[in-house]
Amino acid sequence: MKKPEISFDSIPSSAVSRTTLKICLKCAFDVFTKQLKLTPRTAYSELRKHTPEEVDFSGAATSRPHFLAESNLDHCPYCNGPKRWFAEFHALRIDAHPSFEKERKKLWAALRKQSERFALWSPERTKMQIFSEWLERLNRSLAFDNDGWLLNAAVSHIKRAAPSNDWDTILQNGVQRVQLSRQVEDSWRYADGWLYVSPALYGDVILVQHLLSRSHQHGGRTFEGRLTFQELIRRLRRIGYFDAKVIDAEDLSEGFEQAIAGLVDSGPSAVYYAVDRKDYLDKLKSVYEKKRDK
């Protein structure tokens, strides 16, 4: 019987990042059959065990025969083989949060029952590393040539701060503005395209905006305008952020460090990867059978 497809919809989309990695099977078979002098059958058996490493998916050290799907190539960048040799791995990364850990464990239990198709692992990460990696992914997804990135960055952080499957429904009409409000009962309230947020959440938003734009021309841009480091700290004090976060520091640098520490500590504490190998295994079998029948 065909196994039912496993749904990842129980995990909030704001906690998930997806990456498609391609592999050239011509390169892969050539390594085993031409360089290592193995038979096609042995090469096939060895390749069935293969799962790329995290550095391949992140782009930190993607190497032959792998390349990222964004490359959108018609021929292999290594051997110039046509794309009929290409197969795909689909990696899903979850930055775990206590609010959906029960759902994550249930999903992982289902994935373990299909151990040939799905490869699972959980790399060691500190909270600071998880935050920095999220910030880098967000940075790559934004277009800093217009101010629209400010709103996109704000919404991304708010979703991350309060992960929920309800966000798509809540924000189905879009967000026109993120507005500081001292009247919200919790951290945020959405009404008529405006997202009203508490001083604590608003301060986190402009901190994230400041961090994202520091390395760009005219850096330090936030909803409050372009701010120097000193102006940022003063603005955070003025809106009541330090009081809301119980930050008591006279020194500007110390206040900033405590603010960042609080921002990091409130976020995810673990990372989980699930790599879907279905397309790879199907294409690998097809290539092997063609080789065998020659």
Instruction: Give the model's pLDDT for residue 293.
Output: 65
Instruction: Give the model's pLDDT for residue 2.
Output: 61
Instruction: Give the model's pLDDT for residue 130.
Output: 96
Alpha-carbon span 95 to 272, nearest angstrom: 7
SS3 content of the chain, % helix, strand, coil (to 5): 50, 20, 35
Helix axes 278-293, 40-47, angle to 10 degrees: 180
How confident is residue 168, by pLDDT bands cut at 50, 70 and 90? Answer: confident
Residues of the chain above pLDDT 90, percent? 81
Q: What is the mean pLDDT of the chain?
A: 92
Phi-psi domain of 220 (left: phi exceeds 0; alpha: psi -120 through 50; beta: other): left
How confident is residue 19, by pLDDT bands cut at 50, 70 and 90? Answer: very high
**Mean pLDDT of the 137-166 span:** 93
**Mean pLDDT of the 25-35 span:** 93
pLDDT higher for 290 or 72? Answer: 290
How confident is residue 1, by pLDDT bands cut at 50, 70 and 90? Answer: low
Alpha-carbon span 132 to 292, nearest angstrom: 47
pLDDT higher for 218 or 163? Answer: 163
Amino acid residing at 154: A
**Mean pLDDT of the 148-159 span:** 96
**Mean pLDDT of the 241-261 span:** 91
**Mean pLDDT of the 25-41 span:** 93
Listed range (4-8, 126-130, 203-207, 240-244) with the worst mean pLDDT: 4-8
- List, in sequence order, every residue forming a beta bridge with 96; answer none if it has no partner: 270
**Mean pLDDT of the 269-294 span:** 91
How confident is residue 248, by pLDDT bands cut at 50, 70 and 90? Answer: confident
> Cα Rg for the chain, rounded, in angstroms?
23
Alpha-carbon span 287 to 32, nearest angstrom: 14
Instruction: Give the model's pLDDT for residue 234.
Output: 92
Q: Count Cα neighbours of 197 within 13 Å in the Cβ-side half-sphere.
A: 24
Instruction: Give the model's pLDDT for residue 291.
Output: 75
**Mean pLDDT of the 83-107 span:** 95
Q: State CA 6 to chain mean position distance.
A: 20
Alpha-carbon span 268 to 240, nearest angstrom: 25
- Structural tokens at position 81: 């083989």
pTM: 0.89
